[in-house]
Amino acid sequence: MNARDVVQLPARTANASRSPVKIAFRGVSKLYGGAGRAKNQTLALDSLDVDIRATEIVTVLGPTGCGKSSALNLIAGFERPSTGKLALDGNAISGPGPDRAVVFQHPSLFPWLNVFDNVTLGVKCRGVPAETYSARAMHLLREVGLSGFERHYPYQLSGGMQQRVQIARALVSEPKVLLLDEPFGALDYQTRIQMQELLLALWQEYKPTIFFITHDVTEAIFVADRVLVMSRRPGRVKLSVDVKEDKPRTIDFMATPAFMELQRELLHAVQEEVQANKTAPAHAMAA
Ligand code: ADP
């Protein structure tokens, strides 16, 4: 962690993980809107400094519009930083790549393709041999509890099942980085917990680095090695908290005093930013 990180983050950030830095934000700002037209500009991220370590699961909380998705889109390579540097394994991110996979809140499956074909389309197009991706896809579909549904079409699946297909599709290319933008936000409570447990089980097997945006403080703690709370826009890291519970975890963790204490701390931090956001001007200008 460099000096800039220390300036932004409170003291409690030391992570037990000694794995190398996978993703490094260095003074990253993101400004949307045409150059010179200050009225239409939005500064979404302001000089963000964050290190995410290989195999680390980092969850991100913060008020709506604070720049969480912007940060994810920068890692995905869908957007470029306006200023600052963003690196993956020490190399500047210049665009999307198969080393990173994204799962969004709403499943974006092709309705005319069955489950197996939805999962394998991307790897097939990239020229991965059929015997390799078929075996991988079948294994993943088993892992996510969809054995027997390979030939079903999206309309024949529940929302939770569709989201499982999305996760299998994201993992089939064996990405080193998994980017999750409120992936379970539309699911009912019970399914959501199942998906969180599934995610932890998949992490145990594949050990990707995970950047996971959520609005749910309980979810943020349950799956994370570290929870980041972002400030209201322009987004910066307001708080970074380690979750020291060993993995694999069970839902019993949610009933422990340690969990509840984290929950209280994080709820307060998020609430503070939500309240401040209400009194902030509609647009934070660049200048
Ligand atoms: P969050 O994910 O925390 O809700 P976002 O990153 O989606 O926040 O958005 C941060 C700010 O940037 C918001 O004010 C949003 O309106 C603005 N924004 C996001 N994407 C764009 C875009 N493509 N063009 C212009 N403004 C954008």
Centre of ligand 1 to C-alpha 171, Å, is: 27
Domain-located, residue 171: no
What is the residue with the minimal CA distance to atom 7 of ligand 1?
69
| pLDDT band at residue 14 using 50, 70 and 90 as cut-offs | very low
pLDDT for residue 13: 40
pLDDT for residue 37: 60
Domain-located, residue 223: yes
Domain-located, residue 105: no
Q: Which domain holds residue 275?
A: 1-52+61-92+211-245+254-280
Domain-located, residue 86: yes
173 pocket-lining for ligand 1 (C-beta < 6 Å): no
pLDDT digits (tens, 9 = 90+) for 29-83: 999 986 666 678 999 999 999 999 999 999 999 999 999 999 999 999 999 999 9
Please tell me the distance from the alpha carbon of residue 263 to that of residue 82, in angstroms, as a whole number: 34
Domain-located, residue 219: yes
Domain-located, residue 17: yes
Residue 60 near residue 71 (C-beta atoms within 8 A): yes
Centre of ligand 1 to C-alpha 255, Å, is: 35
44 pocket-lining for ligand 1 (C-beta < 6 Å): yes
pLDDT for residue 10: 39
* Residues above pLDDT 70, as percent of the chain: 89
What is the residue with the minimal CA distance to atom 12 of ligand 1?
44
pLDDT for residue 12: 39
The HSE-up count of residue 246 (CA atoms within 13 Å, CB side) is 0
Q: Looking at the predicted structure, is the pLDDT value of residue 15 above 60?
A: no
pLDDT digits (tens, 9 = 90+) for 107-127: 789 999 999 999 999 999 988
pLDDT for residue 17: 56
Domain-located, residue 38: yes
The residues near 185 (Cβ < 8 Å, ≥ 6 apart) are: 105, 214, 215, 216
Pocket probe mutation, ligand 1, options 31, 43, 48, 69, max atoms within 8 Å of Cβ: 69
Please tell me the distance from the alpha carbon of residue 36 to that of residue 51, in angstroms, as a whole number: 32
67 pocket-lining for ligand 1 (C-beta < 6 Å): yes
Q: Looking at the predicted structure, is the pLDDT value of residue 224 above 70?
A: yes
15 pocket-lining for ligand 1 (C-beta < 6 Å): no
Residue 265 belongs to domain with CATH number = 3.40.50
Over residues 20-33, mean pLDDT: 96
72 pocket-lining for ligand 1 (C-beta < 6 Å): no
Q: Given the CA of residue 283, which atom of ligand 1 is nearest to it?
A: 14
Please tell me the distance from the alpha carbon of residue 100 to that of residue 108, in angstroms, as a whole number: 17
Q: Given the CA of residue 230, which atom of ligand 1 is nearest to it?
A: 3
pLDDT for residue 282: 54
How many domains are contained in the chain?
A: 1
This prediction has a pTM of: 0.90
Centre of ligand 1 to C-alpha 110, Å, is: 26
Pocket probe mutation, ligand 1, options 42, 179, 233, max atoms within 8 Å of Cβ: 42
What is 196-260 written as a DSSP string?
A: HHHHHHHHHHH--EEEEE-S-HHHHHHH-SEEEEEPSSSB-EEEEEE----SS--GGGGGSHHHH
Domain-located, residue 37: yes
pLDDT digits (tens, 9 = 90+) for 165-207: 999 999 999 999 999 999 999 888 998 998 999 999 999 999 9
